[in-house]
Structure 1
Amino acid sequence: MPNTEYDSVLGAGYDTDVLVAGGGPAGLASAVYAARAGFSVLVCEPRTAPVDKACGEGIMPGGVRGLAELGVRPVGMAFSGIEYADLAGRRVRTSFSAGPGLGVRRTELHTALVRAAKEAGAQWSPARVTHVAQDANGVTVAGVRARWLIAADGLHSPVRRHLGIPVRRGAPARFGLRRHWQLAPWTDAVEVTWGQHAEAYVTPVGPDQVGVAVLYRRPLTPSPYVPEAPDTYTALLRGFPELAERLAGAPAASAVRGAGPLRQCPQRRVQGRILLVGDAAGYEDALTGEGVSLAVAQARAAVDALLAGAPGGYEQRWRRLTRRYRLLTRGLVMATAVAPVRGLLLPCCAAAPGVFRRTVDQLAR
């Protein structure tokens, strides 16, 4: 994207061209793209940097390339591929064809993205965006008048809720918990162990630290939060005896963080001059690890739509960008929710290594 395609018109009663609600990866990537395109940008983020979040922290090769395009190269631990294991001790592994992925602490990624956004010229506000007023010419948030609003405020987006956009959540309801452990990585791949009702993801994030995330199913609850996170995390780890043994005696390097229910399918991503980006725009599951790749791609698509003066075009572009992710991820979640199919996953991968490799390469794009 050229750096200065847009002529800012702040003299026409606007305080900023683009207001970004939410300072996570999707919001900050949007801020970088918008500022480099010539828009004036204000990021509204009440949390103090660096902001942490429950996530697997394994960035796929496509996400690494997307971040590099933004000039963002966070410090982390390269990983060469994916290794699947099950409780019977079976293992199957394949390497990425598109280059390595990167295990990065979320706080390190956030710090690098904040730096890039500020260097591009984005400004900051500690305002929390929960209510929005818009008309045919602009959007007003907390007394700030903007031409456009990019809402990148997460899985349970307050802006999306305020706009009244219907959201389908569906089943199975899945949640995620993550903690870091002070322990040298024992593999140069992301290790995924399939249990009876959950998966454990081990990601190397430093020479002496791993992140261990667990995705699991439980009935839908009215609250998106996981108040029993530490106890639940400990109980879930007991379901992975080999992993629990490796972690025994290792000091915890962070608190347990939780998120869910993961599946959020908004009816639309554009309402007037407001565009939803990242998890706010829709989320299937963390199963395939494509969150950062998709966030960067959506950020660019949203800014392209604003440059064209046609925000409605973002909806169709979003559907094209995420179609493969939505179909593949949803198919895997539904299939592996059935116990017999879940038990066949590793034997099938081992029996058809070419298919397994091509599937992983699809995820790594």
Structure 2
Amino acid sequence: MRIAVVGARLAGSYASLLLSQIGHEVFLFDGSTEKEKPCGGGVTSKALLRMPWFHENSVPHSEIRCMRMIAADGSMADLPLKHPMHIFSRAKLDSSLREASVRAGARFIPERTARCLQHRGVWLLSTAKGEYEADFLIGADGATSTVRACTIGRFAARDLSLAVGFYLPGAYHTDTVITVFQQEGFRGYLWSFPRVDHSSVGILRWLPETHSAELRGRVAGFIAEHYPEAGGEKRFYAARIPCLGRRSLIEQRVCGTNWALLGDAAGFADAITAEGIYFALRSAELLCDALRCSAPVSYESLWRQDFGAELEKAALWRDRFYAGHFLFRAFTRRAVQATRRSRTVQTLTDRLICGHCTYNELRMHLILKTPVILVEAILHWLRSQFTDPVIAQKL
């Protein structure tokens, strides 16, 4: 079967690799592969353990063993990661997967797909240099997907977040990622991710509530305070990232008899953390399974059974996490405090990040272990009474 894949980033390249390996004729389109992807580039152990490709190929990366969380009031907590996260340059990671797909037999066409039309059961794709035909069309072209626009329509503004930031030369904290929560009700966070040869410092916020200039000012202020030596060498980036509400996730359909959407184009991103890499790769695997069985429409049930419930739960809890309260304080502030004061909370959060625990399981464990957490918090407070205040803040 002739398959056209629009978008040669992670989801598109991985799908092209898998589909070429099982004998399909794959055409992979993308006219902007040389651009660095505007995101952190973090791959959790959930993806590292599940996708054998990461073990079979050596791509330069930073290994992250600590996550520093900072609340709006400046309080912070360091979360040790028992299961390390890897941070990649997205340009290098994307190109490595794309080259692997070409070696497997895919044909890479470095052109932007301007239009996709269906005519008598065949897809007609137009680029600046020519036209192509395909029996099956895959959209892996991000939040502004051309394929999504011609199949189910573009995302509504309420289902998008805006990410802006800068690439900085050098790595300032090579084994630690930083997440900074903003003021109460700010649906999003600021991050600083160390990559191999540069750092990605950015911020995202639910699109209906923000503007690029306001977010850019926040990131610039953070860089000036924490990385003053970066100077004027930083490079700006901006992008839209899907952040679907629960109703949108439930109602949308991301495939048909001769088309399918992957990754960001399908809206597959965690509404709380904005993690999308795992879902991009996993959706490619699930679609390949569906096509291998000659049942493309089964892809819809496959992704819903595999990770759909987790995306729905994150969407349901997003507003509670960023705008809710717990014990008369912002929930994000209490989350940072609990992480700093309780090893049990640290362990459970680590398990959530690495994929060994779902949101529902996290909630259940937190409830069951509340007595232990309270004892740990009290002991931490007692120790802090006999410690220098500056040191106590770091405990």
The two structures have a TM-score, normalised by structure 1, of: 0.82
Give, in whole Å, the separation in 1 of the partners of 2:270 and 2:218: 18
Instruction: Compute the displacement of 1:254 (Å).
Output: 4.7
1:120 aligns with 2:83: no
What does residue 174 of structure 1 align with? Answer: 161
Which deviates further from its counterpart, 87-96 or 32-41? 87-96
Higher relative contact order (CA 8 A, sep 6+): 1
What does residue 348 of structure 1 align with? Answer: 338
SS at match of 1:256: strand
Change (3 A) 1:124 1:61: same
1:105 aligns with 2:89: yes
What does residue 214 of structure 1 align with? Answer: 203
Q: Which one has a larger percent helix, Structure 1 or Structure 2? A: 2
Cα RMSD (Å): 2.8
What does residue 237 of structure 1 align with? Answer: 219
Deviations 1:65-117 (A, max 9, x none): 455426443212111142212243322233334x3221112211122122211
Change (3 A) 1:164 1:295: closer
CA contact (8 A) 1:56 1:203 kept: yes
What does residue 193 of structure 2 align with? Answer: 203
SS at match of 2:229: coil
Give, in whole Å, the separation in 2 of the partners of 1:323 and 1:356: 26
Give, in whole Å, the separation in 2 of the partners of 1:327 and 1:355: 23
CA contact (8 A) 2:263 2:280 kept: yes
Instruction: Compute the displacement of 1:131 (Å).
Output: 1.9
* 1:196-345 correspondence to structure 2 within 5 Å: 196=183, 197=186, 198-206=188-196, 209-217=198-206, 219=208, 229=212, 231-237=213-219, 240=222, 244-251=224-231, 254-260=234-240, 262-264=242-244, 265=248, 267-285=252-270, 287-288=272-273, 290-338=275-323, 340-345=330-335
Instruction: Compute the displacement of 1:189 (Å).
Output: 2.1
Change (3 A) 1:153 1:238: closer
Q: Which runs of 5+ in 2 are unaligned?
A: 325-329, 356-395
Give, in whole Å, the separation in 2 of the partners of 1:257 and 1:324: 32
Give, in whole Å, the separation in 1 of the partners of 2:354 and 2:30: 30
CA contact (8 A) 1:180 1:212 kept: yes
Instruction: Compute the displacement of 1:219 (Å).
Output: 2.8
1:37 aligns with 2:22: yes
Q: Give the total of aligned pairs.
A: 336
SS at match of 1:270: coil
- Out of 54, 71, 74, which is 2:38 matched to? 54
What does residue 153 of structure 1 align with? Answer: 141
CA contact (8 A) 1:73 1:112 kept: no
SS at match of 2:143: coil
User: Which structure has the bigger radius of gyration?
Assistant: 2
Change (3 A) 1:30 1:185: same
What does residue 5 of structure 2 align with? Answer: 20
Deviations 1:281-300 (A, max 9, x none): 11445743532111111101
Which deviates further from its counterpart, 68-77 or 101-110? 68-77
Give, in whole Å, the separation in 2 of the partners of 1:324 and 1:356: 24
* 1:74-93 correspondence to structure 2 within 5 Å: 74-93=59-78
Instruction: Compute the displacement of 1:213 (Å).
Output: 1.5
